[in-house]
Every structure is written in C-alpha cells, then in structure tokens.
Amino acid sequence: MLAFLLTLGALLGVVIVLAYAERKVAAFMQDRMGPTEAGPQGSLQAVADVLKLLQKEDIVPAAADKKLFKLAPILIFAAVFAGFAVIPFTPALVPAGIGIGVFYLLAIVSLDVVGLLMAGWGSNNKYAMLGAMRSVAQIVSYEIPAGLAILSAVMVCQSLDFQEISYQQGALMNQFPGLEYEMNWLFGIEALGINTTTIGGITTWNIFRAPILLVAFVIYFIASLAESNRAPFDIPEAESELVAGFHVEYSGFRFAVLFLAEYSMMVLVCLVAVVLFLGSWNTPLPNIGPVALAYWTSGTAGEVSSIGWGIFWLLSKTFVLLFLQLQLRWTYPRLRVDQLMHLCWKVLTPIALAVVLIAGIWRLLMI
C-alpha cells in the first residue's frame, strides 16, 4: 500500500509539472507568454486547473450507459498506472520485480483499449464513438511496431526482467554473476581488449552496444506517440472534427482522471524507452582512467546513494524524452487517417521486422 501511494503521489507531481511545462513550451514556440498569473511565472496554473475540475459538476448524460460511462475512466487509468509496477527506479527500488516484467507491461497496458471503447460506447454520442474507434484502431495498429522494437531489445538482452536489462547497461552489471563476460562477447569487443563493463556510462547503453537498437528506439518512440494519442498522432481527439474525441461527454473529476491517464501514459512510455534503450537508472558518465565517474555517480547497489543517483538519472532521461514529445506536438501538423495507417503498416512495421531479424542474427553471431 505504501509503494502504491508513493508511486501515485510521485506520478501526480510529475503530471502537474508536465502540464505546466507543456503550456510554457507551447508558448515559447509560439512567441507568447503562457501562464503568468497563478503563482510565480504561472507555476501554480496546473494546480488551479486540478482544483477547478474537482469542483465542477459531475454530469452523466441521460441516454448514456451509466455503468460503462462511469467505469471507463477508472479502467483506463488503472491499466496505465499498473504498468508502473514493473519499472525499476533504482538498483534497489522496484515496486514489483517480476521476471516477466516486459510481458506483463505489454499485456496490462493494452487493457486501456477496452476502457476507450467503453467510454465511447457508454457516452451514447456519435462523436465520442468515432473518437473511440479511431483511438482503438490507432493503438492496436501501433502496438505492432512498438512491440517488435521491444522484442529486439529483449532478444539482445535475453531477459524479460526490466531490472536485469537495467543492470546490463551500466558499470554495476557485475551484480549478476557471469553477465560481464557474456555481454563482452555478445558485442564482439573482447577481442579488441576493450571492456565496457569497467568503463560504464554511455558506452554500455543498449543503443551503443548494439547499434541496431538505435533504429529500434526510433521506431518505438514514434509508435509511443501514437500509443499516447499525442500529436501528430492525435486523430482520436481531433477537435476540429470530433469536438473532443471519446471523452467529449466527460466533465469534472472523471475528465480529470482521463487527463491524468493520458499524461501518465506519456510518462510510462518514456520510462520504458529509457529502461530498454537509454541505460535505465545508470549514469551516462563513463570511467576515464583513474577518474571513476561511472562509480562515483552511480553508488553501490543496495546503498542509499544508489537510490538517489538512480532516481536522478532515470528522471533526467525521462524528462528529456518528455520535452521531445512536447516539442513534436507543436512542430508537426496532424496526420490524416490514411497517412497514419500508411506510416504504421507500410513503413514502421516492415522496418521493425527487419530490426528483429538483424537483432536475432547479431545475437547468434556475437555470442
């Protein structure tokens, strides 16, 4: 229960900061001020918005399916929030360390599709239903290239455990007996006399140790934008066509829950990208001769220092990806439906299949 409350509280804080940051980033890119009144530099605007939503009347349409309408926001948020259970925040802090964390995450997050359909159908509104159908079609489609990109990382790392994958990308990988020797031979660098397990830092991240995973990371990041219904893939919420998409009939607290679920999904997909491709909680600073930056800025597994450093590096990398998501929203125009599906099925999916094949060959040849 304590881990649940701490994770929920931290997530609420991150979402509030992210909502404020999005407004400021949008304002900067559009040459305007953004929030300025509520708090210093408008920093309390997101908090004021939350309080406003909580005070609004909770309206349920008379012709709506009331059970589905009320249950949908809870299911959508629960599916997203449950995904955080397997994310390793530090070497010693994992809410639920299970050996099949990657499989669990893919399974549990896909349940939000059911909630989206419930929200659209239960609203008894044509626009809401169209938005829900668009969203489900988009999410189900882009789960294919995203899943293949994740699969390529799993094939190279030979593990479904997020924590083990994290250890493999840093100087602390000697916590797993025999892993150091295996990973050196896996990437074919032992013959060069270079041992990245002692160098650590950015040299041990998956996108650098196995270059094909850099392509997988790009595919995953693009697909994750569609999974989160973020621009330029926000067709399900195309306000010029559908008013607001599947949540058009929601107000007050239930709308706030849907808003929280969307931003929580943004945070979750960025955390997964960081864990699988960008070194997880490991430091980007390598050991340079006698200057052991990797060890100084990582701590020792199990110590309090490792918790602080781990959270710092994990959140720093995550916020960089979140900023990139915000920037992309205000840079590229919204895609048409045909363009969105063409990108998924005729561009990303074939490339992702090729990446999986190359990753498998790489694993066989380098081991």
User: pLDDT of 282-293, one tens digit each?
Assistant: 889 888 877 878
Helix (H) or strand (E) holding 157: helix 126-157
User: pLDDT of 87-131, one tens digit each?
Assistant: 998 888 888 878 899 999 999 999 999 999 999 999 998 888 988
State how far the Cα of 343 lies from the Cα of 43, in Å rounded to an integer: 38
- CA-to-CA dists, residue 186 to 48, 150, 211, 280, angstroms: 52, 18, 13, 20
State how far the Cα of 246 lies from the Cα of 239, in Å rounded to an integer: 11
Q: Hey, what are 205's tokens?
A: 């991240």
- CA-to-CA dists, residue 125 to 66, 102, 149, 326, angstroms: 13, 36, 36, 30
User: pLDDT of 293-308, one tens digit each?
Assistant: 888 887 655 555 677 8
Q: What pLDDT is recorded for position 192?
A: 43
At residue 146 the predicted structure's pLDDT band, cuts being 50, 70 and 90, is very high
Segments in 234-348 forming alpha helices (H): 239-242, 252-277, 293-296, 304-329, 337-342
State how far the Cα of 224 lies from the Cα of 332, in Å rounded to an integer: 16
Q: What pLDDT is recorded for position 230?
A: 86
Q: Hey, what are 256's tokens?
A: 């706030």
Which residues have CB under 8 Å from 10's CB, separation 6+? none
Q: What pLDDT is recorded for position 288?
A: 82
The more confidently predicted of residues 241 and 251 is 251
Q: Hey, what are 247's tokens?
A: 């949540």
C-beta separation of 98 from 152 below 8 A: no
State how far the Cα of 174 lies from the Cα of 191, in Å rounded to an integer: 20
